Structure 1
């Protein structure tokens, strides 16, 4: 039956009657075909009726389609038990889409027990039949070592087979492998080509990746205009990462006239989807009152949301809020806890501030020895305030053995990093050393300078 005739019949006789006529006078394949036509037009009840009829003749694609309708509750009551039975029946008969769907359910732990091992079994059955989605998903398992031994080369092989069939997600993943050099020799031209193939199909992640390419100028010449174009296409599909990066572009005026209010709107769209970096960036705007009305409580709420996801800058800023009572009630214990989380991630400013709280006994029992250890960690990251604090401890023998040579060396390094007070104290300490000790201290300082280096980073730290 042609589609135009079917449309006319549906309009005149009603979909249920058409479905009944198809059931009476057509074969199961025709019933399945018409069922698919009705499903695409969201006539779910009539589609389910036809799929049920066709599946009773053990038509494999009808069983699969009827399983999906049970699983999604479209045209029939939602029934996971019935859906699984039909899926397994179709999968056991070698129907690749059903095998892939069973793999997905096991991989995500929906309806069935979560098991990457079982997912790999079903993906492989479908992949070996050439089913592109299964090939790509099997590649993901090999890339991450989920349910199979980690094997980047096998991941690339499966991504390539799916990408050659034009599957955008596989092209994106293959591009990422070329980009990182995992499982294949790094090849930026191939990475860019695969990202572009997928992006031109409208695949949002690939569009975002191309935006990053032109934003950072990493695989191609930096081009903010092209970055904006690709970010915008992905953002229009609701991709949070692209929305957030559009916010960055508008906040900084990169490739577009600066518009912090619009940046805040993009951050809000991404933050509403739970993206930590967007929550942080929006919180920063609320804290500063840039592009939005200043609202310190809102800022701290957003920082907390991002901090709970482990976003280190948000953990630090939330701790600063608790330390100073900015947007939240002042609470040294909360400050200590959040500085601690950020410090464990290696954030030097938080390591310094954690050490300060330990040294002064704020929010925690005083422990100068532990404070010295955290000052040491931050100092090793060229943080001159910690270098000065560590020098002070060596000078006084507080928390560490007293050692004027160590004090001189750390004052020297802090002074090289731009700390004027450290330069003054370096000269004072030099007067406490013998000629031989001063020579040793200078050698120690030279060693620190060679090992750690000198710079003058932004010092986001508490002051004593």
Structure 2
């Protein structure tokens, strides 16, 4: 129904309806996903000066959705929207400058976007201070920006703060706070937060040790392609920690998944499983097992 009404209004030239209809096509909500049609409607709205549509076109050109990837075109649309104080477009423009290694220009845009209320930009400022890009490295400013973004429940910042509290490198170690930050990120479906929460449960940091909970969160994270979570599951299966017995075949599945997603130690662990267990399968055989702990009693 929404698509029908938006289309009626869009065909009459209302830019907000045109942009909204473009969003439906871009996301496949109520209509068949069609990024080319999305671009068509975004363009109609952008030509009328709609800043949201200009930003959306910038994203399409940056990501190559519905159009051929073109960073120059993306930058031009971001600039149009940013000139009207569009917070996300200003941040996106800063990100393109960052990719071009124009660090001072990127910092400037991130500062402007942050002042306009863009939480992505606040987080990006933290990364700039952490890496010393366009500015002198400053751990105090880094923590300040990450903490600000985490205070708005920004998942990446929540994970950053959790790691900082675990390491105790720039702030005092506090596993309880780390656990809480990981939990908030995990509850938003962030794969790093899910894996981090699993590790806290597995190691009993900031919470009572609970392997069943650890496995639950590792599985959620590994299903999103997180290599560390898959590796952690492989280790639990290989060693049989908290299980009735070791499950080397499931360990193989998870180590292979970790390897596919780039975990540096997964190949070594695969070799160890083949060497230490009589699996009755060839090392090069590609077996597919369901990524599930349904047959394992914790």
TM-score in same-fold range (> 0.5): yes
Residues 1:391 and 2:271 aligned together: yes
- Give yes or no for contact 2:226–2:261 (8 Å, CA) kept in 1: no
- Give yes or no for contact 1:358–1:365 (8 Å, CA) kept in 2: no
How far apart in 2 are the matches of 1:202 and 1:224?
21
How far apart in 1 are the matches of 2:4 and 2:281?
64
How far apart in 2 are the matches of 1:156 and 1:246?
30
Q: What residue is the counterpart of 2:186 in the other structure?
A: 307
How far apart in 2 are the matches of 1:119 and 1:402?
54
TM-score by length of structure 2 reads 0.87
Residues 1:242 and 2:127 aligned together: no
Q: 1:29-428 maps to which residues of 2 (within 5 A)?
A: 118-217=1-100, 222-366=101-245, 367-381=247-261, 383=263, 385-398=265-278, 400-401=279-280, 406=283
- Give yes or no for contact 1:396–1:402 (8 Å, CA) kept in 2: no
Q: What residue is the counterpart of 2:296 in the other structure?
A: none
- Give yes or no for contact 1:135–1:162 (8 Å, CA) kept in 2: yes
How far apart in 2 are the matches of 1:312 and 1:173?
26
User: What is the deviation of 1:380?
Assistant: 4.3
User: What is the deviation of 1:386?
Assistant: 3.1
Change beyond 3 A, Cα 1:371–1:254: same
| RMSD, matched Cα | 2.2
C-alpha distance after superposition, 1:189-234 (max 9, x if no partner): 21110100101110001001001111122xxxx2111111111111
Q: What residue is the counterpart of 1:40 in the other structure?
A: none
Unmatched segments (≥5 aa) in structure 1: 1-117, 407-443, 449-464
- Give yes or no for contact 1:303–1:318 (8 Å, CA) kept in 2: yes
How far apart in 2 are the matches of 1:123 and 1:383?
46
Moved more, 188-197 or 126-135: 126-135
Q: Which has the higher contact order (CA 8 A, sep 6+)?
A: 2
In our comparison, the structure showing a higher alpha carbon Rg is 1
Unmatched segments (≥5 aa) in structure 2: 287-298
How far apart in 2 are the matches of 1:365 and 1:153?
53
Q: What residue is the counterpart of 1:75 in the other structure?
A: none
How far apart in 1 are the matches of 2:59 and 2:261?
31
Change beyond 3 A, Cα 1:190–1:315: same
How far apart in 1 are the matches of 2:264 and 2:126?
32
- Give yes or no for contact 2:81–2:89 (8 Å, CA) kept in 1: yes
Change beyond 3 A, Cα 1:395–1:151: closer
User: What is the deviation of 1:315?
Assistant: 2.1
User: What is the deviation of 1:311?
Assistant: 1.7
User: What is the deviation of 1:280?
Assistant: 0.6
- Give yes or no for contact 2:94–2:108 (8 Å, CA) kept in 1: yes
- Give yes or no for contact 2:248–2:277 (8 Å, CA) kept in 1: no
Q: Which has the higher helix share?
A: 1
User: What is the deviation of 1:368?
Assistant: 2.6
User: What is the deviation of 1:383?
Assistant: 4.0
Q: What residue is the counterpart of 1:65 in the other structure?
A: none
- Give yes or no for contact 2:94–2:109 (8 Å, CA) kept in 1: yes
- Give yes or no for contact 1:260–1:290 (8 Å, CA) kept in 2: no
What is the number of residues matched between the two proteins? 284
* Runs (4+) off by over 6 Å: none
- Give yes or no for contact 1:284–1:299 (8 Å, CA) kept in 2: yes
